[in-house]
Amino acid sequence: MRILFVGAGATGGYFGGRLAAAGRDVTFLVRPARAASLASRGLRLTGPDGTTSVRPRTVTAGQIDGPYDVVVIAVKSYGLEQAMIDLAPAVGPSTVVIPLLNGMRHVDELVGAFGPSRAWGGVCMIHASLDEHGDVVQMTGLHRISFGRLDGSDVPAPIVEAFDGAGFDAFASPTIVQDMWEKWVFLASLGAATTLMRATVGDINRAPGGNAFGARIAAEAMAIATAAGHTPRPAAVSVLQNGLSTDQPMTSSMYRDMMAGLPVEAEAILGDFVAEADKHGVPVPALAAAYTNLAIYSAKRGG
Ligand SMILES: NC(=O)C1=CN([C@@H]2O[C@H](COP(=O)(O)OP(=O)(O)OC[C@H]3O[C@@H](n4cnc5c(N)ncnc54)[C@H](OP(=O)(O)O)[C@@H]3O)[C@@H](O)[C@H]2O)C=CC1
Ligand SMILES: CC(C)(CO)C(=O)C(=O)O
């Protein structure tokens, strides 16, 4: 099973690196600077389980030698357009394309480019970043991927086996669209709270009014999903409520990017979410303020 990871950043580097370390046939599509860094230093994953190091196989745009069985897309939303051009030669008639991006807009883009039988859904849950050396730092023990066809039909066993037993949790899901919506609700809430307050969830909850603020954000996010026909299931509601009321220093990737002065996925994560609220007439003042805050941040940094 030939697997191509598009991007060797925090998520692609982590899950692709684990698969490579488990002996799977993994190649990374990367840009030249990342290719050079991976060639000289290798791909290192550090986290609660220690450090793993692999020498990954890489290709850059123009070097793809034919179709892969599975293409996993692990770029930020603002990199997707170019990535789709670069990865196109890797997609043959029976290739499966699995995105790990947050938000939902990429689903339409991938279906538009590759059609509904090849463009699948995907969700990853992990707290990870790249450090100054380009090593992947996993901050908690959470590392889970789920994937599935958008119409919920069966996932062939070889695809399940491709991700199974590689040192992270992997699941084929018959409800991947709903899963992605629930992840969006969680991440939009977490991203909104942490970037607006410029604080971890624990810090927010220790501040006066912090608990009520988190609860308001969560209620707004659930109202959007419900209006859009994706009412979060009870398990997702409790993950959201527990997540936003924790005293732990939990953050979102968008918060970490903002603190590092990097671009943020404001449009794909909060812009589209607030637009859904507007479409359905759902009042979301806290989420709208968080989106405005991110838009100001993006404008000031020039994108
Ligand atoms: N980090 C996290 O904890 C989590 C992130 N997510 C989501 O996963 C998605 C990916 O995020 P994350 O992995 O953190 O992002 P990163 O910025 O860490 O990694 C993205 C990588 O994509 C690479 N890239 C961009 N364009 C191309 C291209 N055309 N060809 C090859 N490589 C390319 C970048 O490479 P270069 O070095 O060349 O810039 C970069 O290394 C996002 O939507 C995010 O919201 C989901 C769950 C958790
Ligand atoms: C939900 C969470 C926090 C973990 O996967 C995430 O997706 C992110 O930080 O981008």
Ligand 1: nearest atom to the Cα of 254? 45
Q: What is the domain extent for residue 285?
A: 179-301
Decide if 251 contacts 201 (C-beta within 8 A).
yes
Q: Do 123 and 50 share a structural domain? A: yes
pLDDT band at residue 303 under the 50/70/90 scheme = confident
Tokens of 288: 């709208």
The secondary structure of residue 121, as a DSSP letter, is: E
Closest ligand to C-alpha of residue 193 is 2
pLDDT band at residue 122 under the 50/70/90 scheme = very high
Domain termination residue (choose one: 174, 198, 220): 174
Residue whose Cα lies nearest atom 1 of ligand 2: it is 187
Residues 6+ apart with CB under 8 A from 261: 301
* C-beta of 76 in contact with ligand 2 (< 6 A): no
pLDDT band at residue 231 under the 50/70/90 scheme = very high
Tell me the DSSP string of 122-171: EEEEEEEEE-TTS-EEEEEEEEEEEEE-TT-PPPPHHHHHHHTTSSSEEE
CATH of the domain at 267: 1.10.1040.10
Domain termination residue (choose one: 122, 157, 174): 174
Q: Do 13 and 141 share a structural domain? A: yes
Ligand 1: nearest atom to the Cα of 101? 43
Q: Do 207 and 145 share a structural domain? A: no
Q: Do 129 and 34 share a structural domain? A: yes
Length of the chain: 303
Mutate to test the pocket of ligand 2, among 181, 190, 270 (most ligand atoms within 8 A of CB): 190
Tokens of 40: 């000289």
Amino acid 257 reads D
Q: Do 129 and 41 share a structural domain? A: yes
Q: Do 270 and 212 share a structural domain? A: yes
Residue 279, H or E segment: helix 272-280
**What's the total number of domains in the chain?**
2
Centre of ligand 1 to C-alpha 129, Å, is 9
**Residue of 123, 241, 103 lying closest to 175 (CA atoms):** 123
The β-bridge partners of 123 are: 146
Amino acid 33 reads A
Tokens of 277: 């609220």
Residues 6+ apart with CB under 8 A from 266: 254, 291, 294, 295, 297, 298
What ipTM does this complex have?
0.99
| pLDDT (tens digit per residue) in 12-21 | 999 999 999 9
Centre of ligand 1 to C-alpha 86, Å, is 15
Q: Do 170 and 84 share a structural domain? A: yes
pLDDT band at residue 73 under the 50/70/90 scheme = very high
Residue whose Cα lies nearest atom 24 of ligand 1: it is 7
Residue 255, SS3 per DSSP: helix
**Residue of 121, 243, 134 lying closest to 193 (CA atoms):** 243
The C-alpha angle with vertex 67 and arms to 64 and 72, in degrees rounded to 5, equals 85
Average pLDDT of the segment spanning 119-143: 97
| pLDDT (tens digit per residue) in 45-63 | 999 999 999 999 999 999 9
Q: Do 39 and 169 share a structural domain? A: yes
Looking at every residue in the chain, the average pLDDT score rounds to: 98
Q: Do 189 and 43 share a structural domain? A: no
Q: Do 189 and 91 share a structural domain? A: no
Residues of the chain with pLDDT > 70, as a percent, come to 100
